[in-house]
Structure 1
Amino acid sequence: MTLFDSRICALGEGTLWHPERRELFWFDVTGRRLLSRAPESGATREVALPEICSAAAWIDRKRLLIASETGLSVFDLESGRFVRRLADLEAENPATRSNDGRADPWGGFWIGTMGKSAEPGEGALYRYFAGELRRLYANLSIPNAVCFAPDRLLGYFADTERGLLFRVALDAQGWPAAEPEIFVDFSRHGLWPDGAVTMADGSLRVALWGAGAVVAVSPQGGIGARLSFPALHTTCPASGGPDYRTLFCSSATQGLSPAQIAEAPLSGALFAAEDSVPGKPEPAFRLDLCGDPR
């Protein structure tokens, strides 16, 4: 394990490796910042955001799709500004915000919402695809761990509050083809799943809120090796680097006492570790499917 970036986030989330830029992006959600670092050059960026933002997908070399507390928007990396609103996301409800999200293999984007104080049952999970935002599941508390099997047959998501990781069968267009089923009950082990990413072999890497670790989960749902980090709240892993064997992970200080922060002063930083299993590039969000030919 190495310290990849020492900037401390109150709630680091949304870790995303941009395969064309070879640059890692992540958010300080409650700090309203977009951060990045390019490991080859060491170049960094930090952009103040106008509202809470939590997750992103890459569109092309110059643009990201960013999920905020009120919508899904196109963000221009050269100007550092939002340039187009694609869809409102519970914009009428000031008590909720976006949370975890990820592009799917069809060029869509799955995004969760939650109460700003994590109120039970106030969250939901949506998919935005070809210009349509559709709510998939309601009555969630803290939707997290959105990721997809390499063969496109399964999607995954968690409800952190309940300690449950779900899987759902997907159809040929990437929509749910059946009801979600419990894949791993982390609560039985006193663990709480946060963000997750799938690897090239179909296994998952799941960050554990409150446990300072990322754990491997087999395609069959078995909990495997644990990779520890010097931060109690590990939040969102991402695969990247030249061979996708680098596992990045964000972390948070949110909810930690002064004594806990003193014991783990790197809480809120971003870490990197080598994984024995390669990850895979994240798919791009297909803006052209939304009526934009560029």
Structure 2
Amino acid sequence: MSQASVFSDHICQLGEGPSYDPATDALFWFDIVNGLLLEQGVASGTLKIHELGQMASAIAVIDEKRQLIAAETGLYVRDVATGKLTLHTPVEADNPVTRSNDSRVHPCGALWMGTMGKGEEKGAGAIYWFFKGELRQLFSDITVSNSICFTEDGALAHYTDTSTGLLMRVACDPATGLPAGEPKLFVDHRSAKGYVDGSVVDRDGVLWNAVWGGKAVKAYSPEGALLREIPMPVTQPSCPAFVGRKADRLAVTSAWKGKDEKQRHLDPQAGMTFLLDIPVNGRFEPRVLIA
């Protein structure tokens, strides 16, 4: 019996960047390559589709009226009432090769934002730190930025360059979200099926990772040991997020990007978004501090 049920049957070419807003009981996520922001009530099931006009990949809450969106030319403030986007901080805006990718808010309110080449050009991307209007590059020569996530106390960050198969961990300053040491290997996934994609860390320090091409979500202990593997009904799950009033469920996006017609026929739910039917000890995303 499958442990995953369909949350949204809207098919995304590249579903990514899910983030739950407890104030509205809505899950937000993206179809990156088609420039769409999707919004669906967890209890209501009502879906709204917002056209952004450019590729975007991640969203964070600023306050009740504003959100911050990571897009291909930088960080934009989105007015919730009107949907209007206003550029706040350019990021690689003069580089047409790259776009935003995996990003997440540190418990202190800082944002780690990843970029990558639109065609997965080798080493074209980077990972940035953004906090109260300041932007710094943390890591360069990144091909596919992914798995950015933090422990609840803000003392540890995780990230990967998916092309390497290595999930890294680095100590952080809990007050600023800046790295406080050199990255160390957390999980070596090179001999396993699929690729390390998006991740979240729960209150117990368990990291939940979507395995692109591996048809699974994997859970790792705080020491990096594999605790469990949950089969998914799609080949390319892309990113998880805690959802629900108690943050006790996992939503997982997926994609059909890169599949031909025959492959899509064999993977008919590719691009849908799912709920895992297992309890998790999740937590809500922190709000991002832009000034």
1:199 aligns with 2:202: yes
Residue 206 of structure 1 deviates from its aligned partner by: 0.3
Measure the CA separation in 1 of the matches of 2:66 and 2:231.
Answer: 33
- Give how far 1:254 is off: 0.4
Distance in structure 1 (CA, Å) of the matches to 2:95 and 2:201: 32
CA contact (8 A) 2:5 2:277 kept: no
Shift of 1:10: 0.4
Equivalent pair of 1:21/1:61 in contact (CA under 8 Å): no
| Structure 2 residue identity aligned to 1:39 | V
Q: 125, 128, 132: which is aligned to 1:126?
A: 128
Find out whether 1:140 has 2:165 as its counterpart: no
* Corresponding residue for residue 89 of structure 1: 91
The aligned counterpart of 1:179 is 182
**Of 222, 232, 235, which aligns to 1:232?**
235
* In 2: Cα distance, 1:64 partner to 1:275 partner: 29
Gaps of 5+ in 2: none
CA shift at 1:105, angstroms? 0.7
Runs of 4+ off more than 3 Å: none
**Given the alignment, which residue of 189, 192, 200 partners 2:192?**
189
**2:216 pairs with 1:213:** yes
Specify the alignment match of 1:110 in structure 2.
112
- The Cα of 1:45 is off from its aligned counterpart by 0.8
Residue 166 (structure 1) aligned to one of 157, 164, 168: 168
CA contact (8 A) 1:201 1:277 kept: no
Mapped contact 1:245–1:274 kept (Cα < 8 A): no
1:161-192 CA-partner distances (Å, limit 9, x unpaired) = 11111100012322101111111111122331
Tell me if 1:14 matches 2:17. Answer: yes
Give the 3-state SS of the residue equivalent to 2:190 in structure 1: helix
TM-score (norm 1): 0.95
- Please, which runs of 5 or more residues in structure 1 have no aligned partner? none
CA drift of 1:261 comes to: 1.2
Equivalent-residue separation in structure 2 for 1:271 and 1:260 (angstroms): 20
User: For 1:74-128, what per-residue CA distance to the aligned partner results, in whole angstroms no more than 9, with x for missing partners?
Assistant: 101211111x322101001000000000111111111001011001111100010
SS at match of 1:262: helix
Q: For the Cα contact (< 8 Å) 2:110–2:176, is it kept in 1?
A: no
Letter aligned with residue 31 of structure 2: D
Offset of 1:277 from its aligned partner? 2.8
Paired letter, 2:30: F
Please point out which of 40, 45, 50 is paired with 1:42.
45
Aligned to 2:272: 269
Match for 1:211: what amino acid? G
Q: How many residues align?
A: 287
Identity %: 41
Tell me which residue corresponds to 1:254.
Answer: 257
Give the Cα–Cα distance (whole angstroms) in 1 for the partners of residues 277 and 202 of structure 2.
13
In the other structure, the counterpart of 1:155 is: 157
